Amino acid sequence: MKKFLNKKVNMFGKAVPVFAFVILGLALTSAALVPYISNVVTGTVSVEAPLELKISENNSTWVDDITFTAMHGGETLTLYTWLINNANNPINGVFTVVISNSINNVTCEDFTSVTFDGVDAISACHAGAVTGTIEFDGTTNLDSLESDYDTITATFALNVAPSTYTFTSAVEQP
Amino acid sequence: MKKKVTAVLVGILVIGLVSAGIVPWISNIVTGTVSVEGPVFYASGTHPLGGTDYWGLGINEYVERENPVSFTGSDPKFFISDKLGIDSFYAANYEISIEAESDNESGQIDARIYFIEGNNPYNRELDICSGSVGPVYNKNIYTINCNAEELTGIDPEWRLVLELSDGLNNIHYDIYIEGNTKIEVTAE
């Protein structure tokens, strides 16, 4: 091997050792050729929903998820929602509340009353997109940085089968 | 060449939009969860039928009464609810708790729960279940458990009745209306 590396080849009339060609080959390989002829710059942006929604059981502590104190059939659950438009333009949307339960059989008859800000809403109850759920919809229009507070009450029927009920709320595109 | 470059840029844009995860929501999603149990019917210091003959059977609530209500032997004491507004009820266990005392060590309370229509607790429309507990003597909370299959054909105008008595024994009983005399319903 040593003999081979010390061997010389004739290039343009001059004797060049094979060793020199090996070094040149290594240099070209490690240069990691790229197509760019400038440096590369990057910009990163976190895109969040323009509307921020929170829920509360006492109208003062606002969270994303909450577990209410257990209730009995015939009792009324009161929950509060707070919505703010963080975007720099007005936004119209559809405020939705979907109700499901742990035995997948919610119907509008599970409630004797549902109100939004004191206005009866039980007549607007309809089946949800998922079987065994129900849904309530309403429009919301908020200017930039405007907030909206809502009080929702739901009275369970006396004979509602015991289970765990989940109220899921969000704002959809109109 | 320009067309090829434009096509490539549009393709990249489309891929970008798809990978952005377009959703119908324009807000975050919030959830509230609540466990719903069966109702509790409390003996209550009210008179839902007017007069003073019958006491109330409050739905998930009660009005406390300072002095106990009494009955003797087979002269029953009735606790009656407001109209229930339901047409069926799931199969359930009914735990009847009675805070009571008697003037005889061999006291025994018979409890029965049923529906009535109108204002007369003697006109039973549909029996739910019944049971007995004893001996009842010192002031304590005495418990009876009974079960019923799913109840259908209930008229929304019907009321629930808790009847307490003691067969043929001429024993005096005091029933306390302080939140411990109640019927707790749990699904079977």
- Residues B32, A166: C-beta atoms closer than 8 Å: yes
* Chain B residues near residue A164 by CB distance under 8 angstroms: 33-36
State mean pLDDT over A143-152: 96
- Residues A168, B30: C-beta atoms closer than 8 Å: yes
* Range in A9-13, A76-80, B145-149, B165-169 the model is least confident about: A9-13
By Cβ distance, the residue of A54, A164, A169 closest to B33 is: A164
By Cβ distance, the residue of A47, A70, A173 closest to B35 is: A70
* Chain A residues near residue B59 by CB distance under 8 angstroms: 74, 158
pLDDT of A155 reads 97
Chain B residues within 8 angstroms (CB to CB) of chain A: 20, 24-40, 59-60, 84-86, 88-90, 185-187
Query: How confident is the prediction along chain B (188 residues), in pLDDT tens digits per residue?
Result: 555 555 544 454 444 444 556 778 999 999 999 999 999 999 999 998 888 889 999 999 999 998 999 999 888 999 999 999 999 999 999 999 999 999 999 999 999 999 999 999 999 999 999 999 999 999 999 999 999 999 999 999 999 999 999 977 889 999 999 999 999 999 98
Structure-model confidence comparison of residues A53 and A4, the more confident one: A53
> Mean pLDDT score of chain A, rounded to an integer?
90
pTM of the model: 0.81
- ipTM of this complex prediction, to 2 decimal places: 0.84
B interface test, pick of A159, A164, A167, A173 with most B CB neighbours within 10 Å: A159
By Cβ distance, the residue of B36, B84, B186 closest to A160 is: B36
> Amino acid identity of B70?
S
Smallest CA–CA separation between A95 and chain B, in Å? Answer: 9
Structure-model confidence comparison of residues A109 and A33, the more confident one: A109
B interface test, pick of A55, A62, A72 with most B CB neighbours within 10 Å: A72
Q: For a pLDDT cut of 70, what percent of chain A falls above it?
A: 85
By Cβ distance, the residue of A157, A165, A173 closest to B34 is: A165
